[in-house]
Structure formats: C-alpha cells, structure tokens
Homo-oligomer: A and B are copies of this chain.
Amino acid sequence: MLSAADGTPQAPTRVLVIDDEPQIVRALVINLKARKYEVDAAHDGATALRLAAARHPDVVVLDLGLPDMDGVEVIRGLRGWTRVPILVLSARHSSDEKVEALDAGADDYVTKPFGMDELLARLRAAVRRAEPAGGGEGEVLVETDEFTVDLAAKKVNRAGKDVRLTPTEWHLLEVLVRNTGRLVSQKQLLQEVWGPSYGTETNYLRVYMAQLRRKLEADPSHPRHFVTEPGMGYRFER
C-alpha cells in the first residue's frame, strides 16, 4: 500500500533510523532500501535531531538506548516542532519504559528482538495514517489567479510554465500554503523550514520571501498573495 492507486508520481517515503548498534542499522537500511524507502541514519541523539531538521523524514525509527542522550529526550526534541510518526525500538520490556516513551509522543513501541516483517508493517501503518494529516486534510492543488501550487507533485505552475524553486524556497512556500489564510509567525516559519534551533534569524525570511515574491507575484513590490504582517509573521492569501 505504498503508492496511491492513481497515476500520481509518489515521492519516496523518507525514513530516519536512529540506533547506535551498527548491525541493526545495517539490517534496517538494507530492508528499507530494498522496499524503495529513502533512508537516513544517525547513531546518536544530537545527529538525529540535526538530521531530522535538515531532511524532514516522513517517519522516524528510534532506538531508546543512545550513547549521548536519553531516547525520551530525543522524542521530546522532535515533538517540540514536528508531528512526524516516531516508532520506538527498545530492548527494555518494562511497561514503565513503554508508557514513558508513548506519553512523550512516540507513536509505537517495539521490543527487541523484533521481527522485520512486523516492524515494516508497523512502519507502513504509521506512514499510512500520517499521510492525510501531513497533507493538511485537503487540497493538494492550491490555485490563485496567477499561479498554481501542487503540494503532492512539489511543483509550481505560472502562466503555463513550471517555476523553478530552490529547496528552501519550496519549503517556505509549502508551510505558507498549508496554512492558507492563516497568519504564520516568523518563529514558526523559521523552525519549520530551517530547524528547531532557529527562531530569531528573521533576515532569512526577508530574503526568501523576496525571492518567492519575485518568482510568483505579478508585482513583487506590492504583493497580493504573500502578505507581511509587521512584527508578527507572514500570511498566504489565495
């Protein structure tokens, strides 16, 4: 059930694997790649958080026993800014451990040793139910009078031609469009696009908003769709 039944070119699912045991990571990576997942791997919590911010995985597989920090802290670190599904892997069978991890924000908890088939099924379940939530319950296609944004295909069309956007430009556009009509604070934009450790670098926003406007607005100096709310944030209007 990986790809949709329609002809839409499905973007590959990105998985972030966090574990300090090389053989487990290797087994997971091999199995996941064989099933056409895109895989990133981290062997400690700090790297994991950085990678999560940079790569925006669709699902996280997290071993609780990490060398540098408590696994539950990694969960909290992720939950501070994202709702990405987290599948916890652990050798601890204790009920308390499970409860703590789940209440911290984990979506599932599998004890080692685990069956690869079961893990993959749980992974599919986690991805499946996150899909529509990630899409913001609705339109994959957002149209204005001047351009069209296809959130699924990650494409922007203007006057019949596709507009080329850099990765950062697209990310920014995506967050704004997913909140069409709503004000998005500068802090939220920075954290969603640049990662949780950002929040004050408003000059990034100014530069990239200008680029988006130059590429998409009819009159970039008088934006009609990418509205600035001084001191508060930005808003995308259709």
Contacts and interface: CB of A to CB of B under 8 A. Distances in A.
Contacts of A106: 125
Interface residues on A, range: 35 or more
Contacts of A117: 95-96, 98-99
A-B pairs with lowest CB-CB distance, top 7: A154-B183, A167-B231, A102-B121, A99-B121, A153-B182, A95-B115, A133-B133
A207 interface: no
Given A102-B125, A108-B125, A155-B182, 9 more contacts: A83-B132, A95-B115, A99-B118, A99-B120, A102-B118, A102-B124, A133-B133, A166-B231, A167-B230
Contacts of A166: 230-231
B118 A103 contact: no
A46 to B, nearest CB: 24
16 contacts: A1-B83, A83-B132, A95-B115, A98-B121, A99-B117, A99-B121, A102-B118, A102-B121, A102-B124, A103-B125, A107-B125, A132-B133, A153-B183, A154-B182, A155-B181, A167-B231
Interface in A79-136: 83, 85, 95-96, 98-99, 102-103, 105-109, 115, 117-118, 120-122, 124-125, 128-130, 132-133
Contacts of A167: 230-232
Given A115-B95, A129-B107, A232 B154 contact: yes
A229 interface: yes
Given A95-B115, A118-B99, A229 B132 contact: no
Interface string A140-155: 0000000000001111
Contacts of A183: 153-155
A124 B103 contact: yes
Contacts of A231: 166-167
Contacts of A105: 128
Contacts of A229: 154
Interface of A: 1, 83, 85, 95-96, 98-99, 102-103, 105-109, 115, 117-118, 120-122, 124-125, 128-130, 132-133, 137, 152-155, 166-167, 170, 181-183, 229-232, 235
